[in-house]
Structure 1
Amino acid sequence: MLNQIIKFTVKPEYQTEFKAALVTNKRGTTNEAGNIEMSIFVDNNNPNVFFAYERWANQQALEQHMAMPYTADMIALFDSALDKPVELFNLGETNPVPVALKPANPEDEVFIIIFIFKINPQMRQQLLTQFEQHINHTRTEPGNLLFDLYTVEGDDNTIAVYEHWRKESDVWDIHFNQPYSKVTGALMEQAVVGDMNQYMNFVTEINA
């Protein structure tokens, strides 16, 4: 299986057009047999930043997707619409493996974080080992809907975390006060390059 996160930073004047192209691309993708998942998001703090989280059965499925007319139409916008080059993160599987998203309740606000951060590579294995425990505990929290961690292929300096919560307070008031979160947080303070806040993207899913 192939997993990837793609970040698009769009010029303000192209925001509406590019968002529409993303939505059209997602709608078309729902009919592709090789697509496992495609979710698209807009950054809560910057409406010109979009993300796609994609899972594909194999490389052939992704190549077939890239040849589809709705994908080609979106790519054709890149030269004029993007404010900076596309940022593509090819994700490696880690332990524990990704799991299915738990269903949200009607009253859930749903709080989503895409956290892609740079680390000191010398601390990589220690951090991954700690996250194995951290993830298993986190997934048992009532407020957690999804918590997956990925390495980034070809880049030992980068790790990606993709998480869904029932509401924002489940993160700040409950999750970060758990004993395992405090252990992970202390290790992150040593391992992450620079201020962790710069890497956090709070996003809203765009329904197509």
Structure 2
Amino acid sequence: MTKQSDLTWRLTDKVVSKIPFGPNKKRSDMISKLVATAKKHVSTAAVCLCAAASTIADQANAQENTMIRFIAKFDVKPSERENFVAALRNVRDGTAREEGALGWDMYVNTDDPNQFWVDERYRDDTAVEFHQSQPYIVALADLSAQALSGPPAGYLLDLPIHSAGQQKAATAQDEPMMLFFIVPMADGTRQQIIDRLDTHVPLTRQEVGNLMFDAFTLKSDPNTVLVHEIWRTPAALWDEHFSQGYAQETGALLSELTGRDLSSLMYVVKSLE
């Protein structure tokens, strides 16, 4: 490999690695600056390669940014649990056949067998409209009127804080634990909480025991953040993560700003087959 071609590949890697995957960053400005730098140091071919890498990254990010993700929580009357679970399974099976559906996963709270969570992902608005018109959704809505013990909670996800991450693979020795963490933000605390999570997220992802850690602002409620976490084992969260200095700092700040016991905002769930 020549000195110039080596520089080409290193610069291409720099372009891809420096462009933040998240709609909350000024990606186009950063791309322009990096390609301008390329023009000063390498050949036209290298600049084209860098621009191509940027375009690929933009296309992938654009597809990610058009995805619609919605998380819902249902509290069900004990007497209606069996009927509600059957309805959820019908929705899951029907949604799997929808072309525009990217995923529809359902969970049950490990501490409350009558609380259910659904994580829905769709390609675009058209896919959502199609999904909502299907008979199994109408049936679920009809059943909910009598089966729920209270109003459902819905969370329409907006921008990821720090950018969405990639889930690590679990091993045969792992006992994965998933949870949703709902953080309310009072007036005047929003930016402080988001800034702290922007620091917290990448540090958590570096932990060996963490499989996934994503935090999102919400389109449905700008004063709430939803955190979705997966850990290799319960101990990886309760013992290892919470012993980290940065995690303790985040916990203390969130407790102070929300005025809440953070454990009351955490919902540990498991897959519902």
Q: Which position in structure 2 is the counterpart of 1:144?
A: 210
Q: TM-score if structure 2 supplies the norm length?
A: 0.72
Note closer, same or farther for the CA distance 1:57–1:156 as it changes in structure 2 (3 Å cut).
same
Mapped to 2, the partners of 1:149 and 1:22 lie a distance apart of 26
Mapped to 2, the partners of 1:61 and 1:193 lie a distance apart of 39
Greater relative contact order structure (CA < 8 Å, 6+ sep): 1
**2:109 is the alignment partner of 1:43:** yes
**2:94 is the alignment partner of 1:28:** yes
Note closer, same or farther for the CA distance 1:103–1:31 as it changes in structure 2 (3 Å cut).
farther
Q: Which position in structure 2 is the counterpart of 1:132?
A: 198
Question: C-alpha offsets along residues 46-98 of structure 1, whole Å, 9 cap, x if unaligned?
Answer: 11110011122111111111111222222221111111122111111123222
Give the length in aligned residue pairs.
Answer: 207
Q: Which position in structure 1 is the counterpart of 2:26?
A: none
What runs of 5+ residues in structure 1 fail to find an aligned partner?
A: none
Mapped to 2, the partners of 1:75 and 1:26 lie a distance apart of 14
Shift, 1:154, TM fit: 4.3
Report if aligned partners of 2:71, 2:120 keep a CA contact under 8 Å in 1: yes
1:34-183 to 2 correspondence within 5 Å?
Answer: 34-183=100-249
SS of the equivalent of 1:93 reads: strand
Mapped to 1, the partners of 2:202 and 2:149 lie a distance apart of 38
Mapped to 2, the partners of 1:146 and 1:167 lie a distance apart of 12
Report if aligned partners of 1:120, 1:193 keep a CA contact under 8 Å in 2: no
SS of the equivalent of 2:84 reads: helix
- The structure with the greater share of residues assigned to strand is 1
Report if aligned partners of 2:161, 2:214 keep a CA contact under 8 Å in 1: no
What runs of 5+ residues in structure 2 fail to find an aligned partner?
A: 1-66
Report if aligned partners of 1:42, 1:204 keep a CA contact under 8 Å in 2: yes
Report if aligned partners of 1:7, 1:88 keep a CA contact under 8 Å in 2: yes
Report if aligned partners of 2:157, 2:220 keep a CA contact under 8 Å in 1: no
- Identify the range of structure 1 (87-96 vs 165-174) with the bigger mean alpha-carbon deviation: 87-96
Task: Tell me which stretches of 4 or more aligned residues in structure 1 moved more than 4 Å.
Answer: none
Instruction: Look at both structures and tell me which one has the larger radius of gyration over its CA atoms.
Output: 2
- Percent identity, aligned pairs only, is 34
Question: C-alpha offsets along residues 138-179 of structure 1, whole Å, 9 cap, x if unaligned?
Answer: 112111111111112242332111111111000011111222
Mapped to 2, the partners of 1:140 and 1:36 lie a distance apart of 27
Shift, 1:113, TM fit: 0.8
Question: Which amino acid in 1 is paired with 2:155?
Answer: F
Report if aligned partners of 2:108, 2:114 keep a CA contact under 8 Å in 1: yes
RMSD between aligned alpha carbons?
1.5
Mapped to 2, the partners of 1:104 and 1:76 lie a distance apart of 38
Question: Which amino acid in 2 is paired with 1:170?
Answer: A
Q: TM-score if structure 1 supplies the norm length?
A: 0.93
Question: Which amino acid in 1 is paired with 2:256?
Answer: Q
Question: Which amino acid in 1 is paired with 2:140?
Answer: M
**2:70 is the alignment partner of 1:4:** yes
